[in-house]
Amino acid sequence: MDSADGLVRTTAAGRAIRAVAAVTTRLVDEARRRHRTAPTASAALGRTMTAGLLLGSLLREDETISLQFVGKGPLRGIFVDANARGDVRGFVYHPRTHLPSRNGKLDVGGAVGSGTFVVMRSQPWLTTPHRSILPIVSGEIGQDVAHYLLNSEQIPSAVSLGVFVQPDESVSAAGGFVIQAMPGAPDDLIRQLENTVAETRPVSDMVRRGATARDILHEVVGAFSPSAIEEQTVRFVCRCSRDRVLGALVALGRDEVQELLDTQGSAQVTCEFCNTRFTLERTELEALIEG
């Protein structure tokens, strides 16, 4: 059974626990189709996009968050951009990266390699974004996000992310959850929560069996008296447009646009985030120069 994409969040144990879970199968498969990613690259991108949505859901409505992995592995890097409204987009540097499985799972850590994990939170009331720069812990994405939350946000968190890729390279299951022990949570509650998370089935297995985001959340925090559950839609959304492309060419300057006219007679621009290609004809380039 194919579960619809969606995200849910709640608090539990008298607000001592905060939890958010998501199913992201369709949007991850859309990213896979757009970028033509190989299985290991699809898993890396899908996990990071899911993480971006989970972290974005914890922000204020007008904030955005970016996750960037810059590694020494063959994938080279991942970039994901998400917001609090459930919109996400992303890409990997080398989309056809695929490695032999490790312990029966796609080797995302090997594809990413050692390097740097950068998290950037953009808040409109601040002139510069808040940036956290951390060493990559494992490259498996979930551990790195948990490490960021503990070291930069000072919130102990359990993060689980999963993507299942079929032999035909399509994504048939993707999702994840973040469970956080809030300040002041009793030690015995934290230990009980850790034991529950350790016994939880892999997210990709749950989604493959038809689990919804609510089902995932119930499996992890159902025993901790969760409060009302808030629901949110999630989707792959890119902000690129023809007008933005024209604006970028204007920013290059008249000389650069004239060189495009002289050498090519037109311009082709491809958006890194969604792989949409824009073709600008001679008349449009001439209008930019005249304008």
pLDDT digits (tens, 9 = 90+) for 184-223: 999 999 999 999 999 999 999 999 999 999 999 999 999 9
165, 28, 36, 280: CA torsion to nearest 10:
170
Structurally, the chain folds into a number of domains equal to 2
pTM of the model: 0.93
Give residue 249's pLDDT band: very low, low, confident or very high (50, 70, 90): confident
Tell the burial category of 12 from Cβ atoms under 10 Å away from its Cβ (0-12, 13-18, 19+).
buried
Q: Which domain holds residue 95?
A: 6-236
The answer as to whether 25 is a domain residue is yes
- Say what percent of the chain tops pLDDT 70: 99
142 shares a domain with 268: no
Over residues 130-145, the mean pLDDT reads 97
pLDDT at 237 (0 to 100): 95
**What CATH number should be reported for the domain holding residue 208?**
3.55.30.10
pLDDT reading at 30 higher than 60? yes
Residues contacting residue 105 through CB under 8 Å, at least 6 positions apart: none
Count of Cβ atoms closer than 10 Å to residue 248 Cβ: 12
